[in-house]
Chain A
Amino acid sequence: MPKIQQKSSIPKTKTGISGLDEICGGGFPKGRPTLICGSAGCGKTLLATQFLVKGITERNEPGVFMSFEESMDDLTQNVSSLGFDLDKLIREKKLKIDQVRVEKSEIEETGEYDLEGIFIRLNYAIDSIGAKNVVLDTIESLFSGIENTAVLRSEIHRLFQWLKKKGVTAIITGERGESSLTRQGLEEYVSDCVILLDFRVIDQIATRRLRIVKYRGSTHGTNEYPFLIDEYGISVIPITSLKLEHKSTDEILSTGLPALDNLFAKRGLFRGGSTLVTGTAGTAKTIIGGYFAQSSCRRKEPVLYFSFEESPDQLLRNLLSVNINLKPYVKSKLLTIHASRPSLQGLEMHLLLLHRLIGQHQPKTVIIDPISSLISIGSNSEVRAMLVRLMDLLKGNQINALFTSLTHQEKDEFKDATVDAVSSLADTWINMSNEDVNGLRVRNLLVYKSRGMGHFNNSCSFKITDKGISFLSANSIQPVSGS
C-alpha cells in the first residue's frame, strides 16, 4: 500500500546567508540548480562562495567551485577578508576549486565536438570529495571563448539536467543582460529558482537589493530585500516579519522619572513597549532618554544607547549636569553607548549594525537618539521600512525601546515623516514643547497616546534644574483600580 503523501514543500538546503532562508521559505531547492543573476559587482560570486563555505563549515557538506572567470588565487584572496579560509578547506578535502580557463587565442575549432570535458571535470571534482553543493561561476564566460554557440547552448542545457540527475544543489551565476535576466538567457534552462541581485546608488548611498524572481514549488517573499556585504559576508534583511506575533506582558516598568510614571494609569510603561519622544530642539528629549536608561540600569538590565548626535563623553557629561549619572553603568558595562554619524552609512548598514549590536549585547532597553537623524540619509519610504524592521526586531525580543525624534517649529509635527512613521508603530508617544509665556520659556510635556492604559490628558509644565526634571504641579491620573 502506498504511503499517503504528506503535503509539504520541496526539500531545501540552507543558503548560509543570514536572512535569505526566511525569504526563500527555508533555503535553495535541494538537489536542483538555482540561478543567481545580476550586474557586475553586485555580489554574485560572493553569495555563491558563502553558500558553499557555510555548507562546509555549518553542515559539513563538501562543495565544488567551478570558476569560469576568477583564478583560484584571486578567489581565495577575495573572500579571505570575510574570514573564509579556502586554502584550509581545500587541504581538508572539503572544497575543490576548478578553474575552467578558455584561451581563445590558443584554441582552434574544427569539426564537431561537445563539452564532455566539463562534465568529466565536474563529475570528478564532485566524486573526489563527495560534494553535495556545486557553484558554477559564471558559465556564460564560455560564450566568449567558444565559437559554436549552438553546441554551447545545448551543452549548458544538458549540464543543468545532468546536475539535477547528479542530485547536487547547484548555484549558477549569470551576468545581467540588457533585456533578459542573463546575457545568454540562462533563465530559460534553470527553471527552479531564480534570484536577482541589484546594486543601485541613490543619493550617493549605495544599496544592494535582492529579489526572488521565481521559485517553483515553494512560497517565497516577493519584495526587494536590501542586503549588505561587510566583514561577515552577505546578510539579507527581510523588510517585515510577516506576522504580528509579538508576545506582550503585563509587567510595568518605570520610566525612571516618578512624576512621569504618574501620568500613566498603571504608573509606568509596559515591558517590551516602544516609546516615542518628540519635540523641537532643546525640549529635553535626550534627558527623558537618560532617565529611561538609568531606570533600566537600576533594574540591572543592559541598555544599548545609539547616539546619532553626541559622542558618548559629551552625552554622559550633559546628562550628569541634570543629575543623571550614567558613568558607573558604562563602567560596569550595563550601559553601552554607540555613537556614529547617520550619514556615515546607508540605512541598511545602520539597521544591520543595530541588529548586530543588539545580538552582541542582549540589551533589555534600546534608546535611539534621535531617530529623526536617520531620515537625512534615506527617502521616507525607506526610513519607514527600516523603522518597521527595527520595531519588529525590538518587539520580537521584548526590548523596551525609546526613540527621540526632532520635530520642527510650528504645527507640522504630524507631517514630519519620521514622526509619521514611528508614531503609528510606537505604543507610547510623549511630546515635549517650549512655549513663550510673557517672555518666559515654559516647558511642557504631553502624553499623546499610550496603548493599553489610560494617561493624563493635560499638558504638564516642568522645569529643568541641576537636580533633573521637576514638574511644576503634581499631575497624576487616577491609578487603575485593582491593579
Chain B
Amino acid sequence: MAKNQRWELRLYVAGQTPKSVLALKNITRYCRENLEGKYSIEVIDLLVRPQLAEGDQIFAIPTLVRKIPEPIRKIIGDLSNEERVLVGLNIRPVSPKIKA
C-alpha cells in the first residue's frame, strides 16, 4: 500500500445508542493506533439524514464503510473485535513492539 494512502471511513449510526457509541469509540481507537494522521471518520446519523441510507446500502446499524481506499468494504456491528475489523478494512496493524 502506498505510504501516503488516505483512509476515508464512514460510520452509520441511528442516534446515540450504546452499540453506536461503542462502535465509534472502537474505530477511533483502531485508527489512532494504526493509521495516525492518515484517516478521517465521518459519522452519519441516519435519524437526522435518513436519505443517506440507501446510497451506501445500509441495512444494519452500526455500519462502518470504508469509502477509500476502494473497493468499498463494510463492517457491521459494534466493532468490538479489533482483529476482524483490521482484517476487514485491510489495515496492517502497527505492532506495539516496533512502535516502542
**Complex CA distance for A170 and B64, rounded to whole angstroms:** 30
Instruction: Provide the residues of chain A in CB contact with B53, threshold 8 Å.
Output: 117, 120-121, 124
Instruction: Provide the residues of chain A in CB contact with B91, threshold 8 Å.
Output: none
B59 touches A110 (CB 8 A): no
Partner of A120 from the list B19, B47, B73 (CB cut-off 8 Å) is B47
B75 touches A118 (CB 8 A): no
A117 touches B19 (CB 8 A): no
Q: Is A231 an interface residue (CB 8 A)?
A: no
Instruction: Provide the residues of chain B in CB contact with A102, threshold 8 Å.
Output: 57, 59
CB distance from B8 to the nearest CB of A (A): 16
Partner of A109 from the list B50, B57, B76 (CB cut-off 8 Å) is B76
CB distance from A144 to the nearest CB of B (A): 13
Partner of B50 from the list A108, A124, A142, A146 (CB cut-off 8 Å) is A124
Instruction: Provide the residues of chain B in CB contact with A22, threshold 8 Å.
Output: none
**Complex CA distance for A106 and B89, rounded to whole angstroms:** 10
Instruction: Provide the residues of chain B in CB contact with A427, threshold 8 Å.
Output: none
B71-91 interface code vs A (CB 8 A; 1 in, 0 out)? 111111111110011011000
A107-137 interface code vs B (CB 8 A; 1 in, 0 out)? 1111111111110110110000000000000
Instruction: Provide the residues of chain B in CB contact with A124, threshold 8 Å.
Output: 50-51, 53-54
Partner of A121 from the list B50, B62, B63, B71 (CB cut-off 8 Å) is B50
**Complex CA distance for A433 and B36, rounded to whole angstroms:** 101
- Contacting A at CB under 8 A, from B33-82, are 46-47, 50-51, 53-54, 57-63, 71-81
Q: Is A100 an interface residue (CB 8 A)?
A: yes
Consensus secondary structure, chain A interface: mixed
* Interface range, B side: 20 to 34
B72 touches A106 (CB 8 A): yes
Number of contacting residues on A, CB 8 A? 24
- Contacting B at CB under 8 A, from A285-342, are none
A110 touches B84 (CB 8 A): yes
Decide yes or no: A106 and B73 within 8 Å by CB, A98-B54, A120-B14 being known contacts: yes
Partner of B19 from the list A106, A114, A115 (CB cut-off 8 Å) is A114
A117 touches B51 (CB 8 A): no
Decide yes or no: A107 and B75 within 8 Å by CB, A100-B59, A115-B59, A116-B14 being known contacts: yes
Partner of A108 from the list B19, B51, B61, B75 (CB cut-off 8 Å) is B75
Decide yes or no: A120 and B46 within 8 Å by CB, A113-B19, A115-B60, A115-B61 being known contacts: yes
Q: Is B12 an interface residue (CB 8 A)?
A: yes
A113 touches B77 (CB 8 A): yes
Instruction: Provide the residues of chain A in CB contact with B71, threshold 8 Å.
Output: 106
CB distance from B83 to the nearest CB of A (A): 9
**Complex CA distance for A410 and B60, rounded to whole angstroms:** 74
A109 touches B77 (CB 8 A): yes
**Complex CA distance for A106 and B76, rounded to whole angstroms:** 11
Instruction: Provide the residues of chain B in CB contact with A101, threshold 8 Å.
Output: 57
B75 touches A109 (CB 8 A): yes
A110 touches B77 (CB 8 A): yes
**Complex CA distance for A146 and B90, rounded to whole angstroms:** 21
A114 touches B61 (CB 8 A): yes
Decide yes or no: A117 and B78 within 8 Å by CB, A108-B85, A124-B50 being known contacts: no
A110 touches B75 (CB 8 A): yes
CB distance from A31 to the nearest CB of B (A): 22
Instruction: Provide the residues of chain A in CB contact with B51, threshold 8 Å.
Output: 124
- Chain A residue at minimal CB-CB distance from B14: A116
A117 touches B77 (CB 8 A): no
A111 touches B77 (CB 8 A): yes
**Complex CA distance for A120 and B55, rounded to whole angstroms:** 13
Decide yes or no: A117 and B14 within 8 Å by CB, A101-B57, A110-B79 being known contacts: yes
CB distance from B44 to the nearest CB of A (A): 11
**Complex CA distance for A109 and B61, rounded to whole angstroms:** 11
A139-151 interface code vs B (CB 8 A; 1 in, 0 out)? 0001000100000
CB distance from B25 to the nearest CB of A (A): 12
Partner of A100 from the list B50, B57, B80, B85 (CB cut-off 8 Å) is B57
**Complex CA distance for A100 and B60, rounded to whole angstroms:** 11
CB distance from A130 to the nearest CB of B (A): 15
Instruction: Provide the residues of chain B in CB contact with A117, threshold 8 Å.
Output: 12, 14, 46, 53, 58-61, 63
Instruction: Provide the residues of chain A in CB contact with B11, threshold 8 Å.
Output: none
Q: Is B23 an interface residue (CB 8 A)?
A: yes
Which residue, of B71, B74, B87, has the highest number of chain A Cβ atoms within 10 A?
B74
11 contacts between A and B (CB under 8 A): A100-B59, A101-B57, A102-B59, A106-B72, A110-B76, A110-B84, A111-B26, A111-B77, A112-B77, A113-B60, A117-B59
Q: Which chain B residues have a beta carbon within 8 Å of chain A's beta carbons?
A: 12, 14, 19, 22-23, 26, 46-47, 50-51, 53-54, 57-63, 71-81, 84-85, 87-88
Shortest 6 CB-CB contacts between residues of A and residues of B = A108-B88, A111-B78, A111-B77, A124-B50, A111-B80, A116-B61
Q: Which chain A residues have a beta carbon within 8 Å of chain B's beta carbons?
A: 98, 100-103, 106-118, 120-121, 123-124, 142, 146
List 10 additional contacts besides A102-B59, A118-B59; criterion CB under 8 Å: A101-B57, A107-B76, A109-B75, A109-B77, A110-B85, A111-B81, A113-B60, A113-B78, A115-B60, A121-B53
